[in-house]
Chains A and B, each alone.
Chain A
Amino acid sequence: MDHRYAGSRRRLVLASIISLIAVACNSATPSTAPSASAPGASQNVAITPEPVPTSQGGLTADGKVLIRWFVGLGTGAQPDQIADEQAVVTEFNESQDKIVLSLEIYQNTTAYDILSTQIAAGNPPDIIGPVGFRGFYSYGDQLLDLQPFIDKTGYDVSGIDPKILDAYKEGFGGQVGIPFAIYPSFIYYNKDLFKEAGLAEPPHKVGEQYDGKDWTWETLTELAKKLTVDKAGNDGTSASFDKNDTSQWGYYMQWTDPRGWGTQFGPGALVGSDGKTAQVPENWQAAWQWYYDGMWKDGFIPNGAENRSELLNSDNAFQSGNVAMDFVHLWYTCCAWPAEGEPQAKSFDIAVPPSHEGTTTAKLHADTFGIMKSTAHPDEAFEVMTYLLGNDKLIARYGALPAVSSKQDAFFTALEERFAPNDIDWQVARDMLAYPDVPSHEADMPNFLKSDAAVKAFQETLITTDNLDVKAEAEKLRNELQGLFDQAD
Chain B
Amino acid sequence: MIGQPDAPALSGSTVPRSRWRWTASRREAAWGWAFISPWIVGFVLFTAIPMAMALYFSLTDFDLRRPNEVQFIGLANYEQILRDPNVAQSMSITLRFAVLTVPPTIALSVGLAMLLNSPRLTGRRAFRTLFYMPTQIPLVASTLIWIGVLNEETGWVNGLLTLVGIQGPDWLNDPGWVLPSLGIVGLWGIGAMMLIALAGLQGIPSELYDAAKVDGAGAWTTLRRITLPLLTPVLFYSLLISCVGVSQYFIQAYVLTNGQPDASTLFYNVNLYREAFSFNQLGYASALAWVLFLIVLALAMLLFWSSSRWVYYAGERR
Point out residues on A near B: beta carbons under 8 Å.
Answer: 13-14, 17-26, 29-37, 39-42, 109, 112-113, 116-117, 119-120, 122, 138-139, 141-142, 304-305, 308-311, 449-450, 453, 457, 460-461, 464-465
Contacts and interface: CB of A to CB of B under 8 A. Distances in A.
Given A25-B248, A25-B293, A305 B174 contact: yes
Interface in B231-249: 241-242, 244-246, 248-249
The 6 A-B pairs of least Cβ separation, nearest first, read A33-B245, A30-B192, A32-B186, A29-B245, A120-B64, A113-B277
Given A21-B244, A33-B245, A40 B297 contact: no
A119 B67 contact: yes
Nearest to B101: A32
Contacts of A120: 64-65, 67, 280, 282
20 contacts: A14-B301, A19-B43, A21-B300, A24-B245, A26-B46, A30-B192, A31-B191, A32-B183, A34-B189, A34-B251, A35-B139, A41-B140, A113-B278, A119-B65, A120-B280, A309-B152, A309-B153, A310-B154, A453-B278, A464-B175
Contacts of A30: 135, 189-193, 241, 245
Contact of B261 (A18, A304, A311): A304
A21 B48 CA distance: 12
Interface in B254-289: 254-255, 258, 260-263, 269, 273-274, 277-280, 282
B81 to A, nearest CB: 13
B202 interface: no
Nearest to B141: A42
A23 B50 CA distance: 12
Interface string B98-113: 0001100100010000
A33 B244 contact: yes
Given A33-B242, A453-B278, 7 more contacts: A30-B189, A30-B191, A33-B241, A34-B252, A36-B251, A113-B277, A464-B261
Contacts of B109: 31
Nearest to A37: B251
Nearest to B190: A31
Contact of A39 (B46, B97, B254): B254
A304 B254 contact: no
B306 interface: no
B235 to A, nearest CB: 14
A370 to B, nearest CB: 13
Most-contacted residue by chain B among A33, A112, A116 (CB, 10 A): A33
Contacts of A34: 139, 186, 189, 245, 248-252
B33 interface: no
